[in-house]
Structure 1
Amino acid sequence: MASSLYHLKFVNLLSFLSTFHLIATLSFSSVQPLCRGDERSYLLQFKDSFVINKSASSEPWAYPKVASWTLEGNNNDCCSWDGVECDEFTGHVIGLDLNSSCLYGSINSTNSLFHLVHLQMLNLADNHFNYSQIPSAISNLSKLTYLDLSFSAFSSQIPLEVSQLSQLSSLNLGRNSLELKKPSLRSLVENLTCLEKLDLSEMEIISMVPNILANLSSLTSLRLGNCRLLGEFPVGIFKLPNLRVLEVWGNEGLIGHLPDFQWSSNLERMDLSNTSFSGMLPSSIGNLGSLTTIFIWGCNFSGFIPSSLGNLTRLNSLDLSLNTFEGHIPSSFVNLGQLSFLYLTGNEFTGPIPFELANLTKLIALNLGGNNFADQIPSSIFNLTNLEFLDLSYNYFSGTVEFDKFVKLKKLTMLYLSYNQVSFLESETCANRTLQKFVNLGLAQCNLSKFPNFLAKQDELELLELQDNNIHGQVPEWVWNMSKESLKAIRLSHNFLTSLGQHPILLPWTDLAILDISSNNIQGSLPIPSSSTLQYHASNNSFIGKISELICNLSSLQVLDLSENNLSGPLPQCLHRFGDSLVVLDIRRNKLEGSIPQTWANGSKLMIIDFSQNKFQGWLPRSLAKCKTLKALDLSNNQFNDTFPSWLGSLPDLKILILRSNKFYGPIKIHNVNYEFPNLQIVDLSYNSFTGMLPVELLLNSNASRSDLAYHLSYIQVNSSLVVEYNYQNYEFQFKYSFSMMMTNKGVNTIYEKVQEIFTALDFSSNRFAGAIPESIGNIKVLHLLNLSNNILTDHIPLTLGNLVKLESLDLSQNKLVGEIPQQLTQLTFLESFNVSHNDLVGLVPQGKQFNTFQNSSFEGNSKLCGNPLSKKCKYYESLPPLSSTSEKSQASRSPLQFGWRIVMIGYGCGLLVGVTIGHVVIARNHVWLMKTFGVR
């Protein structure tokens, strides 16, 4: 009985204690605050170490979360502050989410943040920490499982201490100016064995991808985009059992291939874009049934698209652009019912577009541009009623394209049909109907004979391409009211426009970036675009009158091309206002006159200046020496009256200097041969009044003379682009300005529409240079064109000319050269044009190889020369032995100048005998003109 009573009391006691514990727990949980005083103080100190600046965060929803951190009123519980999370039992701060909180300022290891040692989650993404280094005190936060410092203006090397946060499951340091060298990528992750998410995007790593990443079996997301990774990508990473996101885009040095996917995979997003992955798409890719996104544009993939790709029924976005895929689009694409984004541009796909694409009713972006698709544009495309973006440009579509069919696609705002074989037709009623608001329209080479009328009501256009059509006559008045506030680029070049009508002098498009009205026949005064304009192309027209001073308001201008017009008068004196932005200034072939404005801005970015074929006079502006990025300067065919501009020798990148046909005079003096003209390649000083010895010092130290330079076929040009933002990706329109020039080649005035950087050329002809040709000329083994004609050169032809093994054209005519033609010149197997006429040469014309191809005119005017091809037969000279080494030394000793030199010529791509003639237009043969003008010496 007693034991039963004791047991009952014990049960009641346990019940009481249990109830008491429950009440105590409920009471404790309702008692506030949980915040610990020291940690509250640390948070306030952290807040005070930064300023609030809305520009410090880029997200539209950004706001200063720390604004709620205050002790005013009853707000002393830090656990209730915005972005703060506390442990519900201990009250310790365990989480800080300050993403997009407009924080601005530097941070270091003394910051109070690193006293919050119980933190498990820290998110400081999308703030601005003023390019601080990640503090080494981050190691104090040893309990962190989640760390996000992305897009927050951190810089420098990632500290080793980050790798000591061994409990991290999510690490995001992407989109900063960070480096990862010591520790390396391998040493960073080898201790982070719990990682599930790793994002180091847009960080400078420059290393191989370590195989150790393939051991992180918990990894669900790996983002290493644009990190300058290189080497072979480990195939084992594709086999990670939990991997859902794989991004290595933008690593051009990263090679690899897709494996045979014979395993279960959870991969949802795969982005290998702009890498060097290659090979074919394996048919087993159809086993990756979880894939929603495949981006592999800009790689080296090839072959046919496997039909198994149609098995990926969850696929939402597919971009295979800029590879070399071929064949037809598989009909199995009909199964991709969730597809909204399909980009196949820049491949070698053929055949008609499969009608099955009409079943992809969710498609809102379709890009098939830059392929070999043919036949008519299929009507099935017009069933894709959700399309917003359609690009069919640069194919072989033919037939008639009715604009009314595109109008039925009510959501379509971006349409590109340029450069096919189609005729674009607009119905009479179209202009009066209410249409969708187009943003981009590409209708280049669509056989248009007039401006489409529907454009008159378009007020949201950003890009309009109507170039390469048959549009004649005057620009309609309504064009100047079209999309005044939105238009960024309009291209009307290569049409038959004759007038801009009653346009305002200042064009009305307030946000214009690119205006291209070149290659028409537009008359009248030159229009001036808005101050926002970056590129202004108006060449090959018939504009007259002065260039308005208003053009100087274009303070952001990068390219100004007004060449080949009838513009007259002086240049505006305000040209220096262009500031640092101007890269190309081309005003050649006009009737401009007067002197060049003397003022050029410091820090100028000018790369190409072409003032040729005008009537400019006076001295060159010495301030051109401030143009430190200048690559090409063409002042030919003017009336400049000055000495040689040796002050340009300090320009480190100057490759082309053309002073042809002016009134330059006097000897050419180079002050310091070790630092003058370090990259000069093409020099044309012809038709001036230079005197003294040949100025071979110009090219003595030029890198152009190095025969070990890598072979390449790039042109001297300026590349620029306009990026149009689109919902899915940026759409880039590229523009290239190629430098062109005129030189005398093989006795013919030749226009080179493009100039290749591989060529070297030197033209000192038609001056008053005197003395011997220096022996050191033979050191320029990459020289392709050499013209020293019509000077007063004396002494022998140097034997060292035989070292110029790439020489294609050599003109030494109309001088006072003596002695024999060196037999060594027969070694010049690329030599196509040779002229030593009208000198005092003697002896036998060399025989064999290229010399068997030269005509009599190459040697005429040398009465003591004999042998083929001359009619005069040799007698005594035929038996003369070749020059001995003694005579060679004697000849060398007579040359007072011993220099090396070089220069660059354009248009070399095929080698052999056709190199320097590539891409040229013959203007006139000048041999007879030379004879009449200068006389035979």
Structure 2
Amino acid sequence: MHSCSERRMITIIWSLCLVFCLSQSILVFGSSHAKHLCLPDHRDALWEFKNEFNVQEFNSNGIVGDKKTEKWRNNTDCCSWDGVSCETGKVVGLDLGFSNLNGLLRFNSSLFRLQHLQSLDLRFNYISGILPYSIGNLKYLRVLSLRGCNLFGKFPSSLGNLSHLTNLDLSDNDFTAGELPDSIGHLNKLTELDVRSTKLSGNFPRVLLNLSSLISIDLSSNQLKGMLPSNNMSSLSKLKSFMISENSFYGTIPSSLFMIPSLTRLDLSRNDFTGPLEIGNISLQPNLRYLYIGENNFNGPIPRSISKLVGLSELSLSFWNTGRSINDFNIFLHLKSLTSLDLSGINLNITSTLHFPSPIAELIISSCNISEFPKFLQNQTSLQVLDISANQIEGQIPEWLWSLPALMYVNIAQNSFSGELNILPNSTTGYFIGSDNQFSGEIPRANNLQLLVLSNNNFSGSIPRCLDNLNTSLVILHLRNNSLSCVIPEEIISDRLRSLDVGDNQLSGQLPKSLINSTRLEFLNMENNRIKDKFPFWLSSLPDLQILVLRSNKFYGPIASPRDSLSFPNLRIFDISENLFTGVLPSDYFVGWSAMSSAVGVVYNMQMILAPGITQELYHKSVFVTNKGSNMELVGSVFKIYKTIDVSGNKFQGGIPESICLLEELIVLNMSNNAFTGRIPSSLSNLTNLQSLDLSQNSLFGSIPLELGKLTFLGWMNFSYNRLEGPIPQATQIQSQNSSSFTGNPGLCGVPLQETCGQEEETTKQEQDEEKEEEDQVFSWIAAAIGYIPGLFCGLTIGHILITSHRRDLFMRTIH
């Protein structure tokens, strides 16, 4: 038994221990909590950085982003803000990718006060301007991603100051880059470099050969040229991925590339390389798994040395000019890991006994002069992707094709298939392209389709309402140029729909109202049908809509409403020609059509991952427009940048809207064959990218504005059959036009017309006043578009000063 004094001592000791433990816990908790509180100067810098940008509805990739900075709250712990990470109260990471930031990254931005930043991700925002030299002040940066930010100018040499940098991604910008700065050669820790699609030019950047830590290099889709270094490529001894596709490199591929033991991915496609292809002495178990050397200038037989690359999983040899048909597929027999093979553009003689040593998941044999459906495919139970387009295959599709258990994607376009299309309802195929054939009959019922392209065939009847599950899965539906005659079923419209093209049929009824739920819709083409409906104002609620073509139908009524403001922020092609539209277009009609008023790219990447490692472009979008008086089809890169407005062949009245001057990126403007009145706005000279202008067959009066002569790209214009008068401006761009561009205007004179002008009379005061009024109105719309809030603030301030002054005068009078 302990004595009382001993028990008291034990109690005191335990109490002291408890107090000590509690105090330590409090200290630990306090220090732990304190280290997460950001430093005040870091918080202030972040808050100022937030206020340097506007947050728009869509980011620079046209996607609704997270708007992370809108969730920040001042005078709170910035380490808890979205996208911010800290260490001991210092901001070390800033992830604001896809945050819809819109503004200029200034050289004195508060961002550069965050000296402890180790990771900076601002990808896919509209952070325009030149990449400031100040970026080199962030000397502890390890990761820098500015992909898709609309930056331009040159790469700053200060990037070489970022000696800790391991990952650098500047891809998908508008740099007028020239060559990479030599200072990049100082980044000895750099492991990943991505500068694809940055307009990089010159020869291969030899400074990269000094960066022995590089694991991945992507120089794709640039303007590089010349030969690759022949002997030094092996200095990149840790390189795993080397991608330089879509440039202008030429000469032979250095064998030293194949000698890099760590290399797993090599993409040299779409260049001008020539043979011979020297793979050299490599081990029997190389690491190279992905080899893409298609679309170059290789001639002669495919080298048997490729069979040494026994680890290959994906191989593209497309458009290799072999000079003869390939009958011998033995070179592929050693590639026992091969799952993807692209032999497009090579003449093939495929026998029914052909087999591969491994299960093929992706086979692309487009443009191979094949005249029979390849029967060996019947045994390819692992086949997921099949492209046999642009061949000479006739007859019907064999039914066994639809029983292949893994088949997901089939492209048989541009052949001579005929008869009825026999897609089996229970097929696993989700992506089917059968355009440009001779199919007839009705469109078959099919399950779970996400993509269906059957354009340019002879289908008739109606669009089936019972295309199972289309209401939940359909992404692409293209049925143009057939003989379909029906009302478009509401049931086929999916909320996932991104592209709908049913032009050049005999469709009737109204536009499906269910399209209002297709919030991802980018492309809508209804041209050359019999659709009778009012203008679909509700389409302006579709945030991604880029292409709207309603031409040659029976749409009627006004396209402007006093109740509904019409704003298409991403619209690039607006064609409502040859309808029955009426009314007056308000002066502010085109305010808010952002994509046509700025060079912001809003092109979407219509690709889909079909399986691991298998990515397919889902369809080739194209559209016909009227340009320079003729119809032309827009495809490829031209399609992606084209911006046009065509309201011709309607019954519009009133003046040409002054807000048209805001659409500085317009390439084609066609307002012909209407009843427009008034003067031709001189503000059309703001459309500096305009190439084609058609204002013919209206009731426009006055003179042709002298300012139009400043439009250096304007190669075609038509003012015929109006009530214009006076001398034709003496500008090369205008007087080089054919005389037919000015006929039907009895008051016009001068070259190229035969009517000579007498002595020019002075412009009357009334005309001067009208021109002055027009200029004032143009200025007001520009001001309204870019300066409403500052103007309002200034107005209120001036008003407040005047009222205060007036009250002071009254007060002084009262005293006296």
- The answer to whether the superposition gives a TM-score over 0.5 is yes
Q: Residue 325 of structure 2 is aligned with which of 400, 410, 415? A: 400
1:723 Cα deviation after fit? 3.7
- Which one-letter code corresponds to 1:536 in the other structure? L
Please say if residues 598 and 622 of structure 1, whose CA atoms lie closer than 8 Å, have aligned partners that are also in contact.
no
- Which one-letter code corresponds to 1:406 in the other structure? F
- Which one-letter code corresponds to 1:774 in the other structure? G
After superposition, residues 84-99 of structure 1 pair within 5 angstroms as: none
Aligned match of 2:340: 414
Judged with a 3 Å threshold, the aligned counterparts in structure 2 of structure 1 residues 773 and 187 are, in CA distance, closer, same or farther, namely closer
1:560 Cα deviation after fit? 2.0
After superposition, residues 242-281 of structure 1 pair within 5 angstroms as: 245=166, 247-248=168-169, 250=171, 252=173, 257=180, 259=182, 269-274=191-196, 280-281=203-204
Q: Residue 463 of structure 2 is aligned with which of 531, 547, 556? A: 547
- 2:424 is equivalent to residue 520 of structure 1: no
Please say if residues 797 and 821 of structure 1, whose CA atoms lie closer than 8 Å, have aligned partners that are also in contact.
yes
- Which one-letter code corresponds to 1:722 in the other structure? M
Aligned match of 1:676: 589
Q: Residue 414 of structure 2 is aligned with which of 480, 485, 494? A: 494
Aligned match of 2:608: 722
CA distance in 1, matches of 2:94, 2:339: 37
The 3-state SS of whatever aligns with 2:372 is coil
CA distance in 1, matches of 2:693, 2:98: 47
Aligned match of 1:646: 560
The 3-state SS of whatever aligns with 1:455 is helix
- Which one-letter code corresponds to 2:761 in the other structure? S
Matched pairs, number: 671
CA distance in 2, matches of 1:562, 1:494: 15
Judged with a 3 Å threshold, the aligned counterparts in structure 2 of structure 1 residues 760 and 305 are, in CA distance, closer, same or farther, namely same
Judged with a 3 Å threshold, the aligned counterparts in structure 2 of structure 1 residues 340 and 627 are, in CA distance, closer, same or farther, namely closer
- Which one-letter code corresponds to 1:114 in the other structure? H
CA distance in 1, matches of 2:745, 2:265: 76
CA distance in 2, matches of 1:765, 1:428: 58
Please say if residues 507 and 528 of structure 1, whose CA atoms lie closer than 8 Å, have aligned partners that are also in contact.
no
CA distance in 2, matches of 1:207, 1:725: 40
- Which one-letter code corresponds to 1:368 in the other structure? I
Q: Residue 785 of structure 1 is aligned with which of 693, 708, 717? A: 693
The 3-state SS of whatever aligns with 2:460 is strand
Please say if residues 157 and 184 of structure 2, whose CA atoms lie closer than 8 Å, have aligned partners that are also in contact.
no
- Which one-letter code corresponds to 2:560 in the other structure? S
The 3-state SS of whatever aligns with 2:324 is strand
Aligned match of 2:353: 429
Any gaps of 5 or more consecutive residues in structure 2? 1-19, 37-67, 654-672, 779-816
- Which one-letter code corresponds to 1:808 in the other structure? W
Aligned match of 2:280: 356
CA distance in 2, matches of 1:415, 1:272: 26
CA distance in 2, matches of 1:375, 1:836: 57
Judged with a 3 Å threshold, the aligned counterparts in structure 2 of structure 1 residues 261 and 250 are, in CA distance, closer, same or farther, namely closer
Aligned match of 2:316: 391
Judged with a 3 Å threshold, the aligned counterparts in structure 2 of structure 1 residues 158 and 582 are, in CA distance, closer, same or farther, namely same
Q: Residue 377 of structure 1 is aligned with which of 256, 281, 302? A: 302
- Which one-letter code corresponds to 1:436 in the other structure? S
1:250 Cα deviation after fit? 4.3
Please say if residues 225 and 247 of structure 1, whose CA atoms lie closer than 8 Å, have aligned partners that are also in contact.
yes
CA distance in 1, matches of 2:441, 2:220: 46
- 2:738 is equivalent to residue 832 of structure 1: yes
Q: Residue 740 of structure 1 is aligned with which of 624, 640, 656? A: 624
- Which one-letter code corresponds to 1:678 in the other structure? V
- 2:482 is equivalent to residue 565 of structure 1: yes
CA distance in 1, matches of 2:231, 2:674: 77
Aligned match of 2:244: 321
1:381 Cα deviation after fit? 0.9
- 2:365 is equivalent to residue 446 of structure 1: no
CA distance in 2, matches of 1:776, 1:176: 44
1:398 Cα deviation after fit? 4.2
After superposition, residues 890-909 of structure 1 pair within 5 angstroms as: none
Judged with a 3 Å threshold, the aligned counterparts in structure 2 of structure 1 residues 599 and 172 are, in CA distance, closer, same or farther, namely closer
- 2:758 is equivalent to residue 851 of structure 1: no
The superposition leaves residues 186-228 of structure 1 with CA deviations (integer Å, 9 ceiling, x where unpaired) of: 55455x9xxxxx55566799865754666x7xxxx93334576
Please say if residues 588 and 613 of structure 1, whose CA atoms lie closer than 8 Å, have aligned partners that are also in contact.
yes
Any gaps of 5 or more consecutive residues in structure 1? 1-35, 43-91, 94-109, 118-129, 140-148, 165-170, 193-197, 681-701, 853-866, 868-877, 902-937
Judged with a 3 Å threshold, the aligned counterparts in structure 2 of structure 1 residues 882 and 397 are, in CA distance, closer, same or farther, namely farther
Please say if residues 593 and 615 of structure 1, whose CA atoms lie closer than 8 Å, have aligned partners that are also in contact.
yes
Judged with a 3 Å threshold, the aligned counterparts in structure 2 of structure 1 residues 343 and 154 are, in CA distance, closer, same or farther, namely farther
CA distance in 1, matches of 2:308, 2:291: 13
What is the TM-score of this pair, normalised by structure 2? 0.67
CA distance in 2, matches of 1:135, 1:360: 62
The 3-state SS of whatever aligns with 2:508 is strand
Aligned match of 1:610: 525
Aligned match of 2:291: 366
Judged with a 3 Å threshold, the aligned counterparts in structure 2 of structure 1 residues 678 and 398 are, in CA distance, closer, same or farther, namely farther
The superposition leaves residues 715-769 of structure 1 with CA deviations (integer Å, 9 ceiling, x where unpaired) of: x976512246656xx85637441332358x65xx635446764556663578999
- Which one-letter code corresponds to 2:720 in the other structure? L
Aligned match of 1:578: 494
Q: CA RMSD in A?
A: 5.2
- 2:427 is equivalent to residue 508 of structure 1: yes
Aligned match of 1:884: 761
CA distance in 2, matches of 1:133, 1:679: 28
CA distance in 2, matches of 1:449, 1:329: 34
The superposition leaves residues 821-854 of structure 1 with CA deviations (integer Å, 9 ceiling, x where unpaired) of: 53225642342362566x6937xx8454x337xx
Please say if residues 499 and 524 of structure 1, whose CA atoms lie closer than 8 Å, have aligned partners that are also in contact.
yes
CA distance in 2, matches of 1:262, 1:200: 21
The superposition leaves residues 59-98 of structure 1 with CA deviations (integer Å, 9 ceiling, x where unpaired) of: xxxxxxxxxxxxxxxxxxxxxxxxxxxxxxxxx99xxxxx
Aligned match of 2:702: 798
Aligned match of 1:763: 648
Aligned match of 1:344: 268
CA distance in 1, matches of 2:87, 2:395: 69
The 3-state SS of whatever aligns with 2:250 is strand
The 3-state SS of whatever aligns with 1:306 is coil
Q: Residue 312 of structure 1 is aligned with which of 212, 227, 235? A: 235
What is the TM-score of this pair, normalised by structure 1? 0.60
CA distance in 2, matches of 1:899, 1:634: 34
Please say if residues 384 and 409 of structure 1, whose CA atoms lie closer than 8 Å, have aligned partners that are also in contact.
yes
CA distance in 2, matches of 1:585, 1:39: 69
After superposition, residues 272-311 of structure 1 pair within 5 angstroms as: 272-274=194-196, 280-281=203-204, 294-297=217-220, 302-311=225-234
Judged with a 3 Å threshold, the aligned counterparts in structure 2 of structure 1 residues 176 and 332 are, in CA distance, closer, same or farther, namely closer
- Which one-letter code corresponds to 2:444 in the other structure? P
CA distance in 2, matches of 1:37, 1:531: 64
1:377 Cα deviation after fit? 1.6
- Which one-letter code corresponds to 1:635 in the other structure? L
Identity in percent? 21
CA distance in 1, matches of 2:491, 2:297: 49
CA distance in 2, matches of 1:369, 1:525: 38
The superposition leaves residues 431-458 of structure 1 with CA deviations (integer Å, 9 ceiling, x where unpaired) of: xx57522222221112222222222222
More off after superposition, 301-310 vs 282-291: 282-291
Judged with a 3 Å threshold, the aligned counterparts in structure 2 of structure 1 residues 396 and 778 are, in CA distance, closer, same or farther, namely farther
CA distance in 2, matches of 1:622, 1:831: 38
Judged with a 3 Å threshold, the aligned counterparts in structure 2 of structure 1 residues 39 and 724 are, in CA distance, closer, same or farther, namely farther
CA distance in 2, matches of 1:285, 1:779: 49
Judged with a 3 Å threshold, the aligned counterparts in structure 2 of structure 1 residues 809 and 270 are, in CA distance, closer, same or farther, namely closer
CA distance in 1, matches of 2:520, 2:384: 27
Judged with a 3 Å threshold, the aligned counterparts in structure 2 of structure 1 residues 448 and 629 are, in CA distance, closer, same or farther, namely same
Please say if residues 423 and 446 of structure 2, whose CA atoms lie closer than 8 Å, have aligned partners that are also in contact.
no
Q: Residue 224 of structure 1 is aligned with which of 144, 158, 166? A: 144
CA distance in 1, matches of 2:113, 2:651: 67
